[in-house]
Amino acid sequence: MTDRLYEYMDWPRIEAVVYGEENLPREILGPRTVKDAVLIQCFFPDAKSVKVYNKKDRRKYAMEQVDESGFYAVLLPGKEVPSYEFMVEDADGKKHRCGDAYRFPTQFTPEEEEMFQQGVYYKSYQKLGAHAMTIGRIQGVYFAIWAPNALRVSVVGDFNHWDGRVHPMQKSSVGIYELFIPYVQPGDLYKFEIKKVSGETFLKVDPYANSREGESDMAGIVAKISGYRWGDQGWMKKRKERMAAPYPLSIGQIDLKELGKNEDGEYLTYRELAARVSEYALSGGYTHVELPPLMEYGDSAGPYATSGYYAPTSRYGSPEDFQYFVDFLHRKQIGVIMDWTPAHFPKEAEGLSLLDGTCLYERSHGGEGVHPMWGTLLFDYASPHVKNFLISNAFYWLECYHLDGLRLDDVDSMLYLDYGRTSGNWTPNIYGGNENLEAVEFLKHMNSIIRKKCPDVLLIAQEDGYWRDLTGAVDDTHMGFHYKWNNGWTRGFLEYIHGDRDFRTARHDDLTVSMLYAYCEEFILTCNDRDVTSLEAFLDSLPGEEQEKWGHLKAALGYLFTHPGKKYLAPQGTLPEEIRVYLKELNQLYTEHPALWELDNDTEGFEWIQLMEAEKNMLAYLRKDSSKKDVLLILCNFSGEEQLDYKVGVPYYGKYKEIFNSDGAAFGGAGVVNPRMKTCQKAEWDEQPYRLTVKLPAAGISVFTYQPA
């Protein structure tokens, strides 16, 4: 080594690089000008020789090995850093070219780092993770991960033989490790190698990875998600218009796994599934489909134990394939909602758990940081960096994939400190209550900013408790969701309909109590709960013989679709064609009549006619639109007896035409219907001035439209 080169060697820093303990590598490995020369240093473990190719003078300069572990240095003539690359020969004589990762500056601005620290960097997904880009005409990938307590973080992948010594990352003042690596490209596999202060090293999958391998190794895949050409402009415009006025919302849950596999036994791709899902939704008459979480997950845990929050599961294809899936459904005028899991995540070693060896994303409260039912880890909502991660994740799915809404799963486990816990096994908040104040603040924060920046998407809460004011614009009390599942209605209705019909009289209030609180929130009605997860399961749980089950199923669905509230069903499974036709006709009835959705949250849209005939298991009520031009009379018979001369009071004089009957022949019924228009009589009944006489099927529902005389 020449004396001149020797004097520029920082031996303690070189030793830190060699032993993998350097977290500011640009300061030692980056090129810099010295007296009348440019000093270039690099570290290629086990390389046989390294040269610098100066693109300006087109000369090759042999680098001197200043440390036998693979640290090289050279002085180039000149006063400015030229464009250059390394020519490396390994021990086997193989040669390759690579760029110098340490000559490129950070892509984070001071303003972005400050926002990140404050928890308001809502687009952190645009910088953290792996992003293909071009810097100074050099193509490569920019990597970034937040790991503030790590001693050192390196990018490893096929491009550096998974050697954590090759590409140590630069640590910022806020704990973000970042590095641009030239010539890495979309499709390359990568992970982060993390070294703890204790000296232990381990691999982690990028929490912001836009694509990941399948269920086994789960390495990140460099993906480009910004190049897709969308064709759903008409739908997106319609979506904005829809939010400005009342609209029908009928959601059909779709599990992609249940739509079959190809001839080789492999999952169908997102592109293949697009046509099947759209056909399924259109044939059922649904306005939207809802998908289980499609973020990457391990097979042992299932889709609700999300491990890759920013990666569409590779089981069905690439991120671009999923963009095509959503685009296809939008062009068929079908909205797409996805279940989202911001409450908890699995303990798997390569996931978010102990990401840099310490609790970054999870609560560090021992057993209180673990979900009492699933054994998963609960997010720490007090951390501004967790807020960045989750809010940015919501924007990622809404903006990069044009999703029309997110249904937040397991919200009650977020809101209640004592959720699923016995006395003495949880710590009250500062006021002595069981509310998770940090989670409340997080949800309000997230919902308010999404409502502001994406005002035409839906935010739905699945919450099994009785938390008040979850829906409505964010204020001191309201949480900001557009809708919540009406689990009170579901529980009461399931208890009623599952009971022996001979004893339903005593439970009649379960049918009617929902109207006492129907206007407290913006509700979605569903027959699903933790035990009844699909219509097929719902049918199996009903009492009676098969034919009775079908009747009660149709009556139950009819009541759901005519009761105030938006609609949600899980219609997949083995159901006869008659029930599928019935569901389509119900959806058509619902979407075509404003009376069934325009005044869902207004007392003017609903009126009880008869709710006291418990011994007959009967209900009668009106649904009305704002103009009173669309008025529907609904009669529900939950008994096993036909009513061939049933009298019901009505408030308006005129004619009543039956437009829907669950006992129609097309639905596999016996045909107890009212084929002719009925004119009411001027006779008081049910405390109404007029009376109507009709036929009602056993375990059925009839819908009449009013026409003035």
Tens digits of per-residue pLDDT, 130-143? 999 999 999 999 99
Instruction: State the pLDDT at residue 3.
Output: 79
Picking from 400-414, 521-535, 564-578, which range would have the lowest pLDDT averaged per residue? 521-535
Instruction: State the pLDDT at residue 83.
Output: 94
pLDDT-derived band at 343 (thresholds 50, 70, 90) equals very high
Between 2.60.40.10, 2.40.50.180, 3.30.1370.60, 3.30.1600.10, what CATH number should domain 110-221 receive? 2.60.40.10
Structure tokens at 628: 């009173």
Q: Are 635 and 648 in contact, with CB atoms under 8 Å apart?
A: yes
Q: What is the pLDDT of residues 463-473, one digit of tens each?
A: 987 899 999 99
H/E run at residue 408 = strand 405-408
Collect all residues with Cβ–Cβ distance below 8 Å to 452 and sequence separation of at least 6. none
Structure tokens at 57: 């003078």
Structure tokens at 24: 């500011």
Instruction: State the pLDDT at residue 242.
Output: 87
Structure tokens at 248: 């029908």
Instruction: State the pLDDT at residue 217.
Output: 63
Distance CA 368, CA 68 (A): 50
Which has more pLDDT, 170 or 5?
170
Q: Are 103 and 31 in contact, with CB atoms under 8 Å apart?
A: yes
Structure tokens at 573: 């499974």
Q: What is the pLDDT of residues 212-264, one digit of tens each?
A: 987 656 899 999 998 899 999 999 999 988 888 899 999 999 999 888 777 78
Q: How far apart are the first and last CA of the chain?
A: 107
Which has more pLDDT, 500 or 454?
454
Enumerate the β-bridge partners of residue 647: 693
Instruction: State the pLDDT at residue 503.
Output: 76
Quickly list H helices, 416-508.
437-453, 487-498
Q: Look at phi and psi of residue 544 and say left if phi exceeds 0, alpha if psi is from -120 to 50, else beta.
A: left
Instruction: State the pLDDT at residue 561.
Output: 97
Picking from 163-172, 252-261, 535-544, which range would have the lowest pLDDT averaged per residue? 535-544
Average pLDDT over residues 384-409: 97
Instruction: State the pLDDT at residue 301.
Output: 76
Instruction: State the pLDDT at residue 261.
Output: 76
Mean pLDDT, the chain, whole residue set: 93
The answer to whether domain 110-221 and domain 603-708 are alike in fold is: yes
Instruction: State the pLDDT at residue 216.
Output: 57
* pLDDT of 340 above 90: yes
Collect all residues with Cβ–Cβ distance below 8 Å to 634 and sequence separation of at least 6. 558, 562, 619, 620, 621, 622, 623, 701, 702, 703, 704
How many other CB atoms sit within 10 Å of the CB of residue 642? Answer: 17
- Quote the longest CA-to-CA distance of the chain: 115
Instruction: State the pLDDT at residue 287.
Output: 97
Q: For the domain 603-708, what is the CATH code?
A: 2.60.40.1180
Structure tokens at 8: 């520029």
Instruction: State the pLDDT at residue 142.
Output: 98
Distance CA 540, CA 534 (A): 10
Three-state secondary structure readout of 113-155: HHHHHHCCCCCHHHCCEEEEEEECCEEEEEEEEECCCCCEEEE
Instruction: State the pLDDT at residue 531.
Output: 67
Distance CA 464, CA 73 (A): 64
Instruction: State the pLDDT at residue 215.
Output: 63
Instruction: State the pLDDT at residue 4.
Output: 85
Q: Are 103 and 135 in contact, with CB atoms under 8 Å apart?
A: no
Distance CA 570, CA 564 (A): 19
Q: What is the pLDDT of residues 263-275, one digit of tens each?
A: 787 889 999 999 9
Structure tokens at 404: 């029309």
Give one DSSP letter per residue of 85-121, joined into a string.
EEEEEETTS-EEEE--GGGSPPS--HHHHHHHHHT--
Average pLDDT over residues 193-199: 95
Tell me what percent of the residues of the chain surpass a pLDDT of 90: 80
* pLDDT of 533 above 80: no
Quickly list H helices, 574-685.
577-592
| Domain locations in the chain as residue ranges | 3-100, 110-221, 603-708
Q: What pTM value is reported for the model?
A: 0.95
Task: Give which of 675, 686, 680, 672 is closest to 644, Cα–Cα.
Answer: 672
* pLDDT of 128 above 60: yes
Between 2.60.40.10, 2.40.110.10, 1.10.645.10, 1.20.1250.20, what CATH number should domain 3-100 receive? 2.60.40.10
Distance CA 18, CA 20 (A): 6
Pairing of strands 176-182, 189-195: unpaired
Q: Give the dihedral sign, CA 567/647/502/578.
A: negative
Average pLDDT over residues 24-43: 94
- Matching residue, tokens 């529980």: 491
Average pLDDT over residues 454-467: 92
Q: What is the pLDDT of residues 614-638, one digit of tens each?
A: 999 999 999 999 999 999 999 999 9
pLDDT-derived band at 339 (thresholds 50, 70, 90) equals very high
- Matching residue, tokens 């402009």: 233
Instruction: State the pLDDT at residue 71.
Output: 96
Distance CA 135, CA 176 (A): 20
Q: What is the pLDDT of residues 78-114, one digit of tens each?
A: 889 999 999 999 888 899 999 999 999 999 999 999 9
3-state SS assignment for residue 19: coil
Task: Give which of 393, 392, 396 is closest to 341, Cα–Cα.
Answer: 393
Average pLDDT over residues 374-386: 95
Quickly list H helices, 544-693.
546-562, 577-592
Distant-in-sequence contacts of 214-221, Cβ < 8 A, 24+ apart: 214/314, 214/315, 215/298, 215/299, 215/315, 218/296, 218/298, 218/307, 218/308, 218/350, 219/157, 219/189, 219/190, 219/191, 220/130, 220/189, 220/190, 220/191, 220/311, 221/187, 221/188, 221/189, 221/190, 221/314
Q: What is the pLDDT of residues 679-688, one digit of tens each?
A: 999 999 999 9
